[in-house]
Structure 1
């Protein structure tokens, strides 16, 4: 197995569960060079932040440190190979304090040894009319030449004084960038009405999305997609996507172009469920045709491979995530590798060399945090590369069981149940763990939060409440904010089911949630203050109007406001307004630079609970964003949560 400097760590003795489960993933991103000779790996640093390490797959050169970040307000998100000797990395920054906190992305190109570093795309001009949080997105690695790429980026006008420094271009455009020199050429002129671009993997922009703002500058609820023929020419109408107030959409939503077949792939609804479609880009005006549709299941992912992002299939989640390959060779290879690694293993192709002779794979499962592998098609050799969570090597994990339970109205609610390793599954302390979003869902596989609590002796149930995605538009309903009563009802019914089945002891039931899950944990006290004996809420929404106002200075304000809705459900569904009914003790965590849910939401909840004379503890992490991407912070959060729950549930200290 290859090792990178920051991964050279071993588990401490005795086993520290909070540290082992709270430590960030060993590999945050991984990419193989076009010639298949090197890997660029983004890894967490022991002192915080991230590092980009370049590994020689031929074993000739020592690992090279290309780039580091300090963490907290500065993170490395991903790295790609712009060429065999050039990397292009995406960075995330958080600046400002309090209400003036804002996040922004930037890109940097550099050599594998860190030399010749250049900021790519949007830079901060001293005389810019306004600041842009969007530093650009890589849309095509094959921009024409070694190290040349296509990027969509925001153009911001500058204030000029009659000098050549004045810049009037504004809006989203596409630039061809030579990452070696930093020189850029405009490929698609920027416009304020443009919302997105899609390239074909061969250096051509083929699809443009247009979203006309209203008179106040807020984004409209329709996106008009147009395409350009392979030979070039004017834009032609492709489709219109309309977003409804609940947050769902209708209309063919393109996501990729297959240049060989000259078609666009995208998603639309069919019989109440998402399906994969394709549309020819030949000017024929043919309607979208079905590529893959499943009764009762949302087909929600497109499988792509390599630098050209070749389309090789589609994916959807039932009890497990399923990949259906349209490429016969990859279908056979996937089956063969799954058998070699264990049929219960999740297997995915993460990256490929330019000729696809070398594949970077990830394999893992519910009781296996997973490893990265290199498969050489020529030699048919499968080599282990890096472990995802080395601190959990040898740790016993609980199996994640897919179950269903009846809601109060009889609706079958999918869920996952994880029991402590070796447990008989009877009369256990229970943690109900609703997912965030709410437009999301849990899936079968390793989950560091649920596995931590299972390792500490708790049964963990993760209900896929109404308002979750992946189960069709009827199940999604009016989303988990407007229809919070159904969502919270389903979540609470998960606890009642576990008690009725004898899995959980009725006096030892707690709820733990993150983001919307934290909102659900708090709002459950408003609905039924007696059900849970303890509440842990991480980065929670606590007032729906406060959440709405967090979007007021963005172009998405009107869409987000419609998603939350107006009416009695806002007041009734804001837990900070009902602190007086709480009975269970509450533990809150929040990062003070959170860009998803403002830190003011937890501060408000804590102050309201204290004013009402309720039991509340609040932990605020300086400099951290919504995900608390810091091993020390996550470990502390787990340790304090466990101690809090044990005290509240009357369990012996661990």
Structure 2
């Protein structure tokens, strides 16, 4: 066990006292004038803070909640009882907490991630690994780390396949790599293809139940109440794939040249399995359902874009949420569907997400955000009809200080229908405002009406913020997503410009006072906006950007083990790979017509920091104004409070210097 996590577990074991932090009781929001809100916006660091409550989960029988609280750079996990009284607080330190869940009525699972420097001999330099700590709420039982008792398994997981309960027995299912024994040298690295393990969450013992794939292949599993229900194996060279049931009988097979197939879930009755397969280049991955006993696969949820799946405690799919966060969740059970629809309808004008519930469907956790709401957590008691607000994400950003958010529709220059999210500064007339163009990352993602901390921060300083869902975004059908293929630096970029034109025509913004701010793909778009394009923006802020697409392709292919499928997939996304230099901002640094701010995490394993350092060198050589900020200890997602605050402070100051709001 590494020293950092060992010390962290010590904090877990020592924690046991009741927290002095109190969960908020329902209060009436105080109304202030928009003039006062505009005159005294919250401090900038209030927007950059990690949400006070990042997650809340219900125990299986609704007797307790676990609430994940941020405290500066540290995390606390508070356990509260049915009466909403704190029972204890678990100090989690400054680790990057990724998920919390209940395995049983008195057992919590806490998932972290950690960036590791890889030793010589590995293809990459760094890797983001996940670790799981099992914590018992029973006094004196403490916590332990997954696989800490197994000498032949490193203490990190490759995949989480859920927990199954059998009376008082709790079994967790995780994939992980194994070491091999080498004579007297002990255990040494073998290969990185994971095995599937069943872990007894009480005795800490792990048993291998699924073998790893052979070289050049991958395996994934679906786990039911009795262990492995299905296993899919894919040949990463040919694209041939097979789907077997728990008795190792092949129940489906096929060929997908880019290996874009995968297991989804058990079906609603537990007797079928759902898998995905992308059947053509201009289509979404279709879902199919096939009986575990064998039979003909049939389409499942045709023409439905799914963002999230809801499962029961046996791994069966019981519902889903569509890709548009404004849409309510859909549940197959009529009682749950009726309750869900009623709960969502009780928060009109808000984005209401049902985050969890007790297994008897009597108690629900709901999160809301949107206009007038910077993020609020609610407990709903369906048996009594009662509700309570138990916390807020950003308590200093009250409803009157939340900039108005609306969806704007417009048409691209080639006639394609587009939309985007507009956030307006509180207390200011929406006329001739300075603009922040803020394209999302991905690019396979999209923006919708919600509280966006960075957009709201800029709006609080007097800027209109527009987040366009350009072609290639995931808010529309598969054809719309495919329309982005080969359009990096092309129509995906001009979709942003067309959004500026629409807002200018409506008189909302002054098009001569625009800056572009983005992260990941959005960072690429920010760089392209002032290098591949000219005269559009006064400045560009690029967070973890891609600057050299050719370098990105070569890195991806190398890290995939020279996979032809990786090259094929990237060719579909980027188009003719030989043309990538012509849409890479690094090759047009001498054309940059506005100052550029580069911000990049040193521990970024998705877009390595070299993409920013090389861009900085090119700008320096060309004599163009730029600033590079290296974020120590930060990853691709701005996970740490200190660097998130530093990022926002740098970005806002840079924009205010080059494009003042007043």
- Smaller-chain TM-score range? 0.7 to 0.9
Q: Does 2:78 align with 1:64? A: no
Give the match for residue 608 of structure 1: 618
Hey, what's the Cα distance between the residues in 1 that align with 2:485 and 2:19? 43
Hey, what's the Cα distance between the residues in 1 that align with 2:165 and 2:132? 16
Q: Does 2:117 align with 1:91? A: no
Q: Which of 223, 235, 251 in structure 1 is aligned with 2:249?
A: 235
Give the match for residue 408 of structure 1: 413
| 1:14 Cα deviation after fit | 6.2
Sort the Cα spacing of 1:270 and 1:445 in 2 relative to 1 into closer, same or farther, 3 A.
Answer: farther
Deviation digits for residues 126-163 of structure 1 (CA, Å, limit 9, x no counterpart): x88xxx79614331221535352232312323241169
Q: Which of 645, 650, 659 in structure 2 is aligned with 1:640?
A: 650
Q: Report matched runs for 1:247-262 at 5 Å.
A: 249=260, 253-258=262-267, 260=269, 262=271
Deviation digits for residues 265-289 of structure 1 (CA, Å, limit 9, x no counterpart): 3556799664875524154522313
Hey, what's the Cα distance between the residues in 1 that align with 2:633 and 2:441? 21
SS at match of 1:392: coil
Hey, what's the Cα distance between the residues in 1 that align with 2:488 and 2:76? 43
Q: Report matched runs for 1:459-498 at 5 Å.
A: 459-477=464-482, 479=484, 483-498=488-503
Q: Does 2:619 align with 1:630? A: no
Give the match for residue 12 of structure 2: none
Hey, what's the Cα distance between the residues in 2 that align with 1:97 and 1:206? 34
Hey, what's the Cα distance between the residues in 2 that align with 1:79 and 1:319? 22
Structure 1 unaligned residues grouped into runs of 5+? 215-219
Give the match for residue 15 of structure 2: none
Hey, what's the Cα distance between the residues in 2 that align with 1:186 and 1:139? 14
Give the match for residue 588 of structure 1: 598
Hey, what's the Cα distance between the residues in 2 that align with 1:545 and 1:618? 22
Does the 8 Å contact 2:146/2:204 carry over to 1? yes
Sort the Cα spacing of 1:134 and 1:562 in 2 relative to 1 into closer, same or farther, 3 A.
Answer: farther
Does the 8 Å contact 1:6/1:45 carry over to 2? no
| 1:165 Cα deviation after fit | 6.2
SS at match of 2:369: strand
Does the 8 Å contact 1:544/1:564 carry over to 2? no
Deviation digits for residues 79-136 of structure 1 (CA, Å, limit 9, x no counterpart): 22222222222111113399733321111212236853222147896x88xxx79614
Sort the Cα spacing of 1:561 and 1:170 in 2 relative to 1 into closer, same or farther, 3 A.
Answer: closer
Hey, what's the Cα distance between the residues in 2 that align with 1:502 and 1:150? 57
Give the match for residue 217 of structure 1: none
SS at match of 1:77: strand
Sort the Cα spacing of 1:586 and 1:135 in 2 relative to 1 into closer, same or farther, 3 A.
Answer: same
Does the 8 Å contact 1:140/1:150 carry over to 2? yes
Hey, what's the Cα distance between the residues in 1 that align with 2:65 and 2:169? 16
* TM-score normalised by L of structure 1: 0.86
Hey, what's the Cα distance between the residues in 2 that align with 1:488 and 1:194? 36
Sort the Cα spacing of 1:457 and 1:557 in 2 relative to 1 into closer, same or farther, 3 A.
Answer: farther
Sort the Cα spacing of 1:115 and 1:122 in 2 relative to 1 into closer, same or farther, 3 A.
Answer: closer
Give the match for residue 201 of structure 2: 179
Does the 8 Å contact 1:66/1:114 carry over to 2? no
Sort the Cα spacing of 1:400 and 1:166 in 2 relative to 1 into closer, same or farther, 3 A.
Answer: closer
SS at match of 1:490: helix
Hey, what's the Cα distance between the residues in 1 that align with 2:243 and 2:270? 18
Q: Does 2:474 align with 1:450? A: no
Sort the Cα spacing of 1:556 and 1:389 in 2 relative to 1 into closer, same or farther, 3 A.
Answer: farther
Deviation digits for residues 359-388 of structure 1 (CA, Å, limit 9, x no counterpart): 222222243122222223333322322222
Does the 8 Å contact 1:371/1:387 carry over to 2? yes
Q: Does 2:54 align with 1:19? A: no
Hey, what's the Cα distance between the residues in 2 that align with 1:15 and 1:416? 21
Does the 8 Å contact 2:353/2:366 carry over to 1? yes
Q: Does 2:100 align with 1:79? A: yes
Hey, what's the Cα distance between the residues in 2 that align with 1:144 and 1:317? 34
Give the match for residue 33 of structure 1: 59
Hey, what's the Cα distance between the residues in 2 that align with 1:319 and 1:429? 28
How many residues are aligned here? 622
SS at match of 2:559: coil
| 1:515 Cα deviation after fit | 0.6
Give the match for residue 287 of structure 1: 297
Deviation digits for residues 21-59 of structure 1 (CA, Å, limit 9, x no counterpart): 11112222322222321222222232x132322222335
Kindly report the root-mean-square deviation, in angstroms, between the aligned alpha carbons of the 2 structures: 3.4
Does the 8 Å contact 1:53/1:64 carry over to 2? yes
Deviating more after overlay: 81-90 vs 113-122? 113-122
Q: Report matched runs for 1:389-404 at 5 Å.
A: 389-404=394-409
Give the match for residue 540 of structure 1: 545
SS at match of 2:256: strand
Q: Which of 219, 224, 238 in structure 1 is aligned with 2:241?
A: 224
Sort the Cα spacing of 1:278 and 1:90 in 2 relative to 1 into closer, same or farther, 3 A.
Answer: same
Hey, what's the Cα distance between the residues in 2 that align with 1:177 and 1:207? 18
Does the 8 Å contact 1:7/1:43 carry over to 2? no
Does the 8 Å contact 1:65/1:114 carry over to 2? no
Hey, what's the Cα distance between the residues in 2 that align with 1:260 and 1:474? 32
Give the match for residue 631 of structure 2: 621
Q: Does 2:409 align with 1:384? A: no
Hey, what's the Cα distance between the residues in 1 that align with 2:529 and 2:570? 18
| 1:182 Cα deviation after fit | 0.8
Hey, what's the Cα distance between the residues in 2 that align with 1:64 and 1:570? 55
| 1:307 Cα deviation after fit | 3.0
Hey, what's the Cα distance between the residues in 2 that align with 1:606 and 1:6? 47
| 1:181 Cα deviation after fit | 1.9
Deviating more after overlay: 520-529 vs 256-265? 256-265
